[in-house]
Amino acid sequence: MSSLDNFVERSTAFTKLPYFEYAGELVQSPNDLRQHKLIKLTNNMTVLCTSDPDASKAAASLSVNVGSFVDPPELQGLAHLLEHLLQLASTKYPGANEYRAYIQDNQGFSNAETFNEDTAYYFTISPNAFAEALDRFSQLFISPLFDKDYVEQELHAVDSESKGNLQDIVDQENSVIRSLLDSSHPAAKYDCGNMNTLSSDTLDIREEVIKLYRKYYSADIMKLAIISNHSMDDLIEWAVSKFSEIKSLGDTRPDPLPSPYDGLIGNIIHYPNTYNDLSISFPIADLNPLYQVGIEHFFRRLMKSRHPGSLLDYLTKHNLATAFEIYISKNNGYSRVILTFFLTAKLEYNHVVCATLAYISMLSKSSSLERFYREIKTAKNFEFEHYSKPDEHEWTFEMSHGSHNRYMDYQHYLAEDAMCVYNEKAIADFINNLNSYFLNFGSPRNTVKYTHRSEHFDVPYAVSDFYIEKEHIAALQDKYTAPPPNKYIPESPAIWSGDSKKYPQLLEKTDTHELWFKGIYTSPHGCIMLRICLPNQNTLIWKARNGIMEPFIENILKDIIESGKLAGIRIDINYIWDVIYIEASGPSGKLPLIVADIIERLQKPAEDFERSKQITKSSLLGNCTPIQQLLLDTYPHICNSGVPLYKDILDNLDKVDPNTQVDISHCYIKLLVIGNFTESQARDIKINCKSIAPDQRIPSTWLDISPGHYINVRQNSDTTAVNNAICVAIHCAVYNDTKQKMALDLIGNMLDTYIFDELRNKQRLGYHALAYTGDYNQLRAVFIELQSECNPMFLTQQVNQVLANFKKHIDGVEVDEMILAAVSRRLGKFNSTAEEGCHYWGQIYSGSYEFDILENEAAALQGITKEYLLEVWDRYFNSSTYTRIDLQSWVKPPSIDELEKYPEAIISLYRCLEAKNTTQYSLDDLQQMEDKWDVHPSKSDPRVNTAIQSAIESAHLPPGNLRTPEGKIIINDVKQFQAAQKAFDPSLLATTATPKY
């Protein structure tokens, strides 16, 4: 079809600029009350404009239909580097970080992602700043500067991302597969890139980025989606006037590609892994032409059922696997189905493969395929007809990034994944083609001899042939039965009528539970949320048990969660230190049933206990970035005397009873029922339990940290890590002082922009550099996170410098628009019942019951001035009550003796020199030099120069007991630190004696 078929020429309402509007009928839910227009600009860019008067924020997303697959072989990661550089500056807005700063100053966020076949750029912002933001956004694509002064900076940022991926299990596995593909196929290239892949002796990297941009970034292959509460005329005017100047180069998309995996069929790839995982990969034909059939939804429904006679039932009964996941990747020209099994200690992967192929063979012969399809279609139709608005960012991202299917007609632009057509032949062909495969087997107990190592990740691996006799598969087919009907599929909905109160009402309060209710009678949707507080035992074994319970709960509920998902019900379950959080949202008619099933299942024995223990060990031993490790094992452990250190959990994991289960017979439950329910229905949703005896409750105690600057130095538990990290927490206002809390939120937002510009852009300290505010220890705290190859002492010094200069920065910021945006965000309407439920639930489970918090925050914001922001800054950052904890994760930490003896500036300088292989100076040498430096400044490394300057300026105070020379307190023994602080009960600060409503 021609790009303008069924489009008619129009002109904008105000400036009469030309564009083309889709004249056909867009398939749109009758419950979607927003206004949509699909247009094409004169440069052939496709734009979806959505006007929603109730939108609380504006959003835009632009996706270019080329990604890492267009990287030249000699510069892998170039498309990723282009994504980084393009966002920095344009000819019209040349200031580095100007676009990002504008977005953030107006209560928004921005980001971009490079995928294999497209690159997505997006932002959200306050609606009153949307027009200006769109202008800055469009200029990035019209005239990007690709400033040569920032190429090196973004190369380091890309390299930092790459190093952050080194510990990721999925990335490690992908690196092995890439190493085995034909090197001429784009899928064999390293999509992220690093300093090695993006270095060249003969090529100018900036010029190569510009070449890539000029060759592929054509308006013809760009999809833009925008949404705001502005009128449709305004949105079209902005889209046409601001984006029509992007150059049209024609269709620059690469041609469809053949599958790169055919050469791996019949092989098994062995590699080391933290878990016992087996992946079966089936290379298949391109699924994109069948988008209306929705084969992936159908296949998940068939495979993920846990009925007697299902695949998972067989695997668990024979102790072969505890669970499995399904992923279907769709590329331009080919697709791949991946089944990943979590094996038990038996490691019988041959048996698992045979069982899986037998189950698929049984499905191919089933006479009930159409029934299964109709069942899922019913759920999809319900979801479509009773549409629930997504978040503005989710909407624009899906409408741009998700609309590149070259087979999709414009009619289904708003509803690409709504299944419309039952295609018996296509479904049969899909199932019958799942017979050619290759395997990935990762295990800590792999006994094969590794013969190769993957490129970039250095993962050892070995490849061998694999084959299963057909008679073995046939022998297992009679073990299976087809899935029964999904009992959570919604039926004909009834929308109840009733008096919908503004806030939730307390229906019941007893020794065992609180029941809260809010009826919403506009659609057949609802949300049920529970907080189950279990008895606590203050022993290390009990705490180790708690560490296992979260993955355990996830595993035993996988099939219920999956069945609910296929029926349009979203389920979130978390377990945090003797408290189970359950949230179920979707069609209201089946929510009580699925919640009851969850509670019943929770009380079953831990059939996959060993898998849960593996997951817990992996998360504690370092299967995460240095920043994630610090967040996992720092502030809660230092400041909450009831939370154990990760070492305590690890030491006691093997002592936990493998027959453990969740006992909710004695607990305290908070329950919120919100949405399309009557009060009577809400009262019927109960869980039988008894009150927790007084001796089974452990008081919630926190630590009132004495003023001071504390440092906790720890070694990264992952021996393969290459990045250091610091997390800084500065204690500020008490939680229930709304005006101070809002002021600190504004300060945190400004500080984030400032840190990103100073430490990421100018100092080039790494990709991860951010600041934010959060509730911590019943206080509002300001957090700063940095992850970098630089030593943590150097990072701490740079944070000190930023904080020293930040007050001047606040004084130069125009805060009125920022405050207006923050007020607008809080006074907007909720997008869905689930979003509204989450808001009120936060007040209920915390015990604050401040249901009008958004109105209170908006009122507090309107009373804030720049002078008040400066006053708050001085109160918490420039006073004798300054309370700060720095947590440092080192690849190679200094000793306690070194911390006591040498100023941090000396340690920082020593490590900076060491990183540059300048090893002729010891710590004592540098200490004795004082300001008579013989270390010559480095022209090539400004970090060494900065470290020298800091060392010259550092004060040499006499060492104290476990203190740095600067007088900062070293947290060496966490328990001793806790004992020295004052404990208090946070409920005295936050919880009202009687709920307001």
Supply the DSSP symbol for 94.
Answer: -
pLDDT in tens, 794-846: 999 999 999 989 999 998 888 998 999 899 889 888 888 889 999 999 889 87
> Which contacts qualify for 799-808: CB closer than 8 Å, 24 or more apart?
799/726, 799/728, 799/759, 802/751, 802/754, 802/755, 802/758, 802/759, 803/877, 806/750, 806/751, 806/754, 806/873, 806/877, 807/870, 807/873, 807/874, 807/877, 807/878
More confident residue, 581 or 672: 672
Summarize the confidence of residues 48-54 as an average pLDDT: 96
Q: Is the pLDDT of residue 256 over 80?
A: yes
**pLDDT of amino acid 912:** 87
pLDDT in tens, 590-640: 999 999 898 888 776 555 566 666 666 655 554 456 666 666 566 666 665
Structure tokens at 801: 């410098």
Q: Is the pLDDT of residue 131 over 80?
A: yes
**pLDDT of amino acid 265:** 96
Percent of the chain with pLDDT over 90: 45
**pLDDT of amino acid 297:** 79
**pLDDT of amino acid 254:** 95
Supply the DSSP symbol for 256.
Answer: P
Sign of CA dihedral 114, 116, 119, 123: negative
Q: Is the pLDDT of residue 48 over 90?
A: yes
Sign of CA dihedral 258, 189, 168, 150: negative
**pLDDT of amino acid 1:** 38
**pLDDT of amino acid 78:** 98
Q: Is the pLDDT of residue 24 over 70?
A: yes
pLDDT in tens, 875-929: 988 887 888 888 898 989 999 888 888 888 889 888 888 888 877 788 888 888 7
Poorest-confidence range of 397-411, 726-740, 850-864?
A: 726-740
**pLDDT of amino acid 49:** 98
Compute the CA torsion angle 174, 179, 184, 190 (nearest 10 deg).
Answer: 50
The structure's pTM equals 0.86
**pLDDT of amino acid 456:** 93
More confident residue, 705 or 75: 75
For the chain, how far is it from start to end, CA to CA, in angstroms? 59
pLDDT band at 18; cut points 50, 70, 90:
very high
More confident residue, 536 or 70: 70
What is the spatial distance between Cα 249 and Cα 219, in angstroms, rounded to a whole number? 7
What is the spatial distance between Cα 530 and Cα 584, in angstroms, rounded to a whole number? 9
pLDDT in tens, 287-305: 999 888 888 878 887 898 8
What is the spatial distance between Cα 133 and Cα 227, in angstroms, rounded to a whole number? 13
Q: Is the pLDDT of residue 727 over 70?
A: yes
pLDDT band at 701; cut points 50, 70, 90:
low
Whose CA is closest to 798, among 768, 760, 834?
760
Summarize the confidence of residues 659-667 as an average pLDDT: 67
What are the residue ranges of helices labelled H in 920-983? 923-929, 942-953, 974-979
- Helix, strand or coil for residue 488? coil
For the beta carbon of residue 65, count every other beta carbon within 10 angstroms.
Answer: 22
More confident residue, 189 or 599: 189
Q: Is the pLDDT of residue 381 over 90?
A: no
pLDDT in tens, 916-975: 887 778 888 888 875 555 555 555 567 777 776 666 655 443 333 456 666 778 787 777
**pLDDT of amino acid 992:** 37
What is the spatial distance between Cα 109 and Cα 750, in angstroms, rounded to a whole number? 12
